[in-house]
């Protein structure tokens, strides 16, 4: 497919009117063709108007038809073949194998949402039948289902050019819920975005859906993004990226005459706890696992283990020594964009001013290559110094040495909200781990035992979320099928004649849903 540099507004390909962006191949620091001219307010308005026009039709599509649409998107993405892998790899510096894996995850995710749509559990149908004889007052017939919120604005992530971008988790969950989607492409991978955007637009046509179900806009410099979030027809936002970007979008959404929810996934340092018995028994294996998790994908995962917390002593020294011996063998890796590389360098040099450098990876041998770093500090210094608590996006981690369990608890209480918290424990550590659990449950969206936080399974039980600043709304997840719930709201129908009720709520239960009927779950 020839890349055109054009936006997709419904089924139309249009050139933007604002300054053009070109992707940069971060491995060579060279720009890639074509240029993508940014959209303006009028084009945002056009996309939102189409999305609004599509909304009432799209949200009432039969479950099987909507599921088929999601599956068709997945089929179309797979049909793009090597072209997609090559372009995504050139635009991000990520190896082809990683992009292929991510493509599998993206398509698997779309198909998982198709299964979820077909099951219909998300409609959460509740029926309280009328009780006309009830004393002292009769009860009306009350029926509840969930409907889609409205058109959703999606901001793709730089670090997952497929799985969290144009057809990624936010788009898939919003489409599954019945919401049209307008994507603001990430400026770091516009060509990948165009390829995937065309695959979605083609699926819209194949499935005979209203064209406004999907649009794709370009634009850097925040104009398009802010115009999108403040358009009155947009009813929710999905975002993955920087803390400053997420907070700016939340503020813009809250300042609207009609405020809307923003589901922003932003910043997390993902504490890893090494409890004494586990550390004593397997410091070497823990250090090996830690270095592998830390350096995977140049550390550019939102769940990268940026903080290690343990009691000081000989076992922790062994862990630090082994990790420090391994790190110099780890090659510097190309980071996603020159901007992300430069932010990494700044973050590392700030840490170096406030903590001891324990080890460094191999020095860079090409442009935009991040060198891995391991720092060590004392718990008291960590508690007193906010520079030590900030996320450094990349392969850098800080070991915090605690005097005792109480200081470990204090450090934990001091942490901001996190996507994950990891506990390495043996049998003897369980009482100490149990004592810390209430703190960690308050801090993080996912708690893991004897594993590593990188690698997020897309499944029904996953929670990829957590209190601020991990996300802007801890009540939901952005990964896994429960992400559909972010884009729904309940509506109750009182005393409706059957013929006027939506199918999901009709007396005969034509969709065969497992309803909550008069307080009992149907089989």
In the bound state with ligand NAP, the residue whose beta carbon lies nearer, of 9 and 224, is 224
Q: What are phi and psi of 291, to 5 degrees?
A: -65, -40
Cross-strand partners of 265: 240, 471
Q: Is 477 in the site for ligand NAP (CB under 6 A)?
A: no
Among the residue ranges 92-100, 155-163, 398-406, 458-466, the one whose residues contact ligand NAP (CB under 6 A): 155-163
Identify which range of 6-14, 47-55, 170-178, 263-271 contacts ligand NAP by CB under 6 A. Answer: 263-271
Among 46, 159, 193, 432, binds ligand NAP (CB under 6 A): 159
CB closer to ligand NAP, 391 vs 429: 391
Residue 302 C-beta: closest distance to ligand NAP, Å = 3
Quote the CA–CA distance of 394 and 400 in Å, as a whole number: 18
Instruction: Note whether 270 binds ligand NAP by CB under 6 A.
Output: no
Nearer to ligand NAP, 432 or 454 (CB): 454
The reply on whether position 355 binds ligand NAP by CB under 6 A is no
Among 53, 102, 265, 429, binds ligand NAP (CB under 6 A): 265
- As given in the structure block, the two tokens for residue 265 are 């996934």
| Among the listed residues 77, 99, 157, 400, the single contact to ligand NAP using CB under 6 A | 157
* In the block, residue with structure tokens 């309280």: 128
Q: Are 268 and 446 in contact (CB under 8 A)?
A: no
Binding mask 389-408 for ligand NAP (x = CB under 6 A): --x-x---------------
Q: How far is CA 212 from CA 38, 48, 52, 382, in A?
A: 19, 8, 7, 50
Indicate which single residue of 226, 405, 410, 517 sits in contact with ligand NAP (rule: CB under 6 A): 226
Binders in 319-348 for ligand NAP, by CB under 6 A: 340, 343
Alpha carbon distance 515, 523 (integer Å) = 9
Phi, psi for residue 15 in degrees, rounded to 5: -85, 145
Contact between 307 and ligand NAP (CB under 6 A)? no
Instruction: Work out which of 237, 266, 298, 310 binds ligand NAP, going by CB under 6 A.
Output: 266
Q: How far is CA 432 from the centre of its chain?
A: 32
At a CB cut-off of 8 Å and minimum separation 6, what does 314 contact?
none
Interface residue with ligand NAP, options 88, 302, 444, 504 (CB under 6 A) = 302
Q: What is the 3-state secondary structure (H, E, C) of 105-133?
A: HHHHHHHHHHHHHHHCHHHCCEEECCECC
Nearer to ligand NAP, 144 or 334 (CB): 334
DSSP 8-state assignment for residue 263? E
> Catalytic residue positions?
265, 302
What letter does residue 471 receive in the DSSP assignment? B
Between residues 10 and 246, which has the closer beta carbon with respect to ligand NAP?
246
SS3 label, residue 523? coil
Question: Cβ-count burial of 516 within 10 angstroms (0-12 exposed, 13-18 middle, 19+ buried)?
Answer: middle
- Interface segment toward ligand NAP; rule CB under 6 A; list 131-139, 179-187, 271-279, 435-443: 179-187
Is position 61 an interface residue for ligand NAP (rule: CB under 6 A)? no
Q: Does 155 bind ligand NAP (CB under 6 A)?
A: yes
The three-point CA angle 27-291-346 to 5° equals: 50
Q: Cβ 297 to ligand NAP, closest distance in Å?
A: 11
3 state DSSP class of 65: helix
How many chain residues are in contact with ligand NAP, going by CB under 6 A? 25
Q: Is residue 15 part of the contact set for ligand NAP (CB under 6 A)?
A: no
- Residue 515 has phi, psi (to 5 degrees) of -85, 160
Task: Report if residue 267 touches ligand NAP, rule: CB under 6 A.
Answer: yes
Please report whether residue 152 would count as binding ligand NAP according to CB under 6 A: no
Contact 412, 440 (CB under 8 A): yes
The three-state DSSP-derived secondary structure of 494-512 is ECCCHHHCCHHHCCCCCCC
User: Which positions lie near ligand NAP, rule CB under 6 A?
Assistant: 155, 157-159, 184, 186-187, 220, 222, 225-226, 240-242, 245, 248-249, 265-267, 302, 340, 343, 391, 393
């Amino acid at each position: 497919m020839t890349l055109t540099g054009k936006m997709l507004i419904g089924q139309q390909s249009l050139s933007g009117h604002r300054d053009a962006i070109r992707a940069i191949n971060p491995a060579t620091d060279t720009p890639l063709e074509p240029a993508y001219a940014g959209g303006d307010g009028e084009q945002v308005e056009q996309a939102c108007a189409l999305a609004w026009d599509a909304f009432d039709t799209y949200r009432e599509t039969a479950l099987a038809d909507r599921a088929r649409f999601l599956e068709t998107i997945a089929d179309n993405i797979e049909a793009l073949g090597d072209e997609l892998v090559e372009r995504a790899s050139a635009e991000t510096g990520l190896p082809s194998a990683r992009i292929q894996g991510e493509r599998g995850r993206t398509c698997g995710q779309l198909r998982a949402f198709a299964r979820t749509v077909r099951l219909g559990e998300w409609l959460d149908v509740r029926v309280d039948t009328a009780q006309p004889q009830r004393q002292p007052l009769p009860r009306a017939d009350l029926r509840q289902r969930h409907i889609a919120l409205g058109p959703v604005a999606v901001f793709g992530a730089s670090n997952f050019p497929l799985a969290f971008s144009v057809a990624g988790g936010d788009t898939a969950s919003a489409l599954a819920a019945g919401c049209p989607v307008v994507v603001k492409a990430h400026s770091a991978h516009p060509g990948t975005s165009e390829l995937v955007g065309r695959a979605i637009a083609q699926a819209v046509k194949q499935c005979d859906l209203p064209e406004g179900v999907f649009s794709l806009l370009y634009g850097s410099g925040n104009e398009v993004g802010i115009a999108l979030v403040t358009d009155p027809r947009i009813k929710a936002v999905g975002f993955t990226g920087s803390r400053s970007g997420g907070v700016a979008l939340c503020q813009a959404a809250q300042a609207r005459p009609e405020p809307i929810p923003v589901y922003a996934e932003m910043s997390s340092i993902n504490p890893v706890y090494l409890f004494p018995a586990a550390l004593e028994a397997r410091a070497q294996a823990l250090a090996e696992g830690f270095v592998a998790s830390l350096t995977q994908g140049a550390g550019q995962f939102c769940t990268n283990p940026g903080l290690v917390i343990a009691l000081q002593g000989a076992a922790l020294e062994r862990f630090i020594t082994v990790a420090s011996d391994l790190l110099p063998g780890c090659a510097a890796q190309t980071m996603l964009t020159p901007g992300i590389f430069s932010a990494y360098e700044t973050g590392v040099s700030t840490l170096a001013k406030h903590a001891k450098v324990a080890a460094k990876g191999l020095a860079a041998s090409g442009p935009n290559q991040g060198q891995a770093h391991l720092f060590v500090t004392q718990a008291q210094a960590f508690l007193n110094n906010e520079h030590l608590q900030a996320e450094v996006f990349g392969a850098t981690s800080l070991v915090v040495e605690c005097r005792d369990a109480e200081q470990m608890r204090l450090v934990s209480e001091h942490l901001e909200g996190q996507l994950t918290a990891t506990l390495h424990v043996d049998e003897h550590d369980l009482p100490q781990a149990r004592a810390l659990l209430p703190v960690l449950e308050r801090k993080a969206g996912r708690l893991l035992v004897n594993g590593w936080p990188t690698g997020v399974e897309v499944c029904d039980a996953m929670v990829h979320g957590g209190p601020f600043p991990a996300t802007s709304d801890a009540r939901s997840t952005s990964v896994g099928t429960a992400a559909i719930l972010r884009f729904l709201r309940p509506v109750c129908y009182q005393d409706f004649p059957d013929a006027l009720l939506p199918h999901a709520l009709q007396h005969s239960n034509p969709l065969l849903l497992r309803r909550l009927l008069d307080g009992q779950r149907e089989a």
